[in-house]
Amino acid sequence: MRQAGRSLPEYRKVREGVGMLESCLRPDLVTEITMQPVRRYGVDAAILFSDIVLPVKAAGVDLDIKAGVGPVVAEPVRSAADVARLPSLEPDQVAPVAEAIRGLVTELAGTPLIGFAGAPFTLASYLVEGGPSRDHARTKALMYGDEDTWHALAGRLADIAIAYLTVQVDAGVSAVQLFDSWAGSLSAVDYERYVLPHSRRVLESVSNVPRIHFGVDTAELLALMASAGADVVGVDWRVALDAAASRVGPGVALQGNLDPAAVFAPWDAVAERARDVLRRGKAAAGHIFNLGHGVLPDSDPDVLKRLVDFVHEETAGS
Ligand code: 1CP
């Protein structure tokens, strides 16, 4: 998730004067920023420094990431003609990402590197709305009102995600995460009809590495998200992991799900809640401890370090 880096002074220092998307295409910066949380916290895996909209930008869509806002698209995509104009992603357009991954795999010396892409629905929301949205109203209006155009758009974004993930897997990432952060705004019935086939196609295209499938507020969607072809389902903090385990069914591992706000509480409360997450995670076929969404920017790096150490101590030998 948009993560650890944001709360670190060393991150803010290397990003000074460099735009977000520009930094994602500089192998030196991608490498340094990906390594920062690994060095400081000793986490068990690294997440590639990039963004879900990077491949869309690299393919030629006029968009930017505005500080304090998020992705902003110059010409929103709202008609069949707009969709037809969307470019596809050629591997050379993200060559700097592949270069960074190859260097990182060496530098990480065995610590797994997780690559990622945005899922068709979440990417579509930025393109259709033109920027971040709370209700995704225009996206849903397109989906409900013009199903053919919706499927054409989601299909093109699935192609971009597949191309981007293929580059990452070929360059050496150990696992991939598909971020459908905003899928939780849909009912299960609509998710299954409009979104699942596209996300399934993306996940099935990378079946040679473990696949993590994550969204926020997805209590009603967990079984469907697992059925899309995920080895691991990421869960936000709203659903207890033992309840999530019974929803995703046997053989699917879980990732999550400490409330990112919990790290602002006194340490005893953080520890108690982390212990509860670990206990409930035992109900799943496997468990990757994580926050339930990204690290909040004002989080105290010392508390995060203490949390990583605590999880290591609690799970030592297991
Ligand atoms: O090191 C890291 O931070 C990890 C790399 C990473 C990842 C995995 C970034 C860098 N972005 C992402 C994925 C991402 N980007 C998601 C999916 C995960 C999630 O739900 O958090 C989403 C929804 C985005 C879109 C995005 N990019 C937003 C959200 C806007 C909204 O709709 O609310 C924002 C604020 C960004 C910018 C961004 N991307 C990454 C960082 C560190 C930042 C902050 C901006 C900056 O530092 O300039």
Ligand 1 atom at minimum distance from 2 CA: 3
Q: Are 202 and 234 in contact (CB under 8 A)?
A: no
Residue 1 has pLDDT above 70, yes or no: no
Q: Which tokens hold the place of 71?
A: 């992705």
Question: Given this model, what pLDDT does residue 68 score?
Answer: 87
In this prediction, residue 5 has a pLDDT band, given cuts at 50, 70 and 90, of low
* Ligand 1 atom showing the smallest separation from residue 65 Cα: 37
Burial 228-259 (b: 16+ CB within 10 A, else e): bbbbbbbbbbebbbeebbebbeeebbbbbbbb
Task: Answer with the residue of higher pLDDT: 318 or 212.
Answer: 212
- Look at residue 303 in the predicted model and tell me its pLDDT: 96
Count of domains observed in the chain:
1
Out of 8, 22, 51, 116, give the residue to mutate to test ligand 1, the one with the largest number of ligand atoms within 8 Å of its CB: 51
pTM for the model stands at 0.97
Ligand 1 centre from 295 Cα, in Å? 10
Q: What would the pLDDT profile of 71-85 be if each residue is shown by its tens digit?
A: 999 999 999 999 999
Domain span including residue 167: 4-315
In order of 199, 261, 283, the CA distances from 134 in angstroms are 21, 20, 33
Measured from the Cα of 11, ligand 1's closest atom is 47
User: Do 288 and 254 form a contact (C-beta atoms < 8 A)?
Assistant: yes
Q: What is the pLDDT of residues 111-144, one digit of tens each?
A: 999 999 999 999 999 999 999 999 999 999 999 9
Comparing 163-167, 200-204, 206-210, 271-275, which segment has the lowest mean pLDDT?
A: 206-210
145-201 pLDDT, tens digit per residue, is 999 999 999 999 999 999 999 999 999 999 999 999 999 999 999 999 999 999 999
Find all residues with CB under 8 Å of 36, minimum gap 6, and list them. 4, 5, 8, 10, 11
297, 302, 306, 307 alpha-carbon torsion, rounded to 10°: 0
Mean pLDDT of 259-280: 98
Instruction: Supply the pLDDT for residue 4.
Output: 59
- Give pLDDT, residue 207: 84
Q: Is the CB of 71 under 6 A from ligand 1?
A: yes
CA–CA gap between residue 248 and residue 30 (Å, rounded): 34
pLDDT tens, residue by residue, 220-249: 999 999 999 999 999 999 999 999 999 999
Distance 317 CA to ligand 1 centre (A): 34
Per-residue model confidence as pLDDT tens digits over 284-307:
999 999 999 999 989 999 999 999
* pLDDT tens, position by position, 13-44: 999 999 999 999 999 999 999 999 999 999 99
Helices then strands, each counted (H, E), the chain = 15, 9
Residue 283 in this model has a pLDDT that exceeds 70: yes
The answer to whether the beta carbons of residues 116 and 179 sit under 8 Å apart is yes
Give mean pLDDT, residues 35-58: 96
Residue 132's CATH number: 3.20.20.210
Q: Is the CB of 184 under 6 A from ligand 1?
A: no
Q: Can you tell me the distance from the alpha carbon of 43 to that of 66, in angstroms, rounded to the nearest whole number?
A: 29
Provide the annotated active-site residues: 2, 6, 15, 51, 126
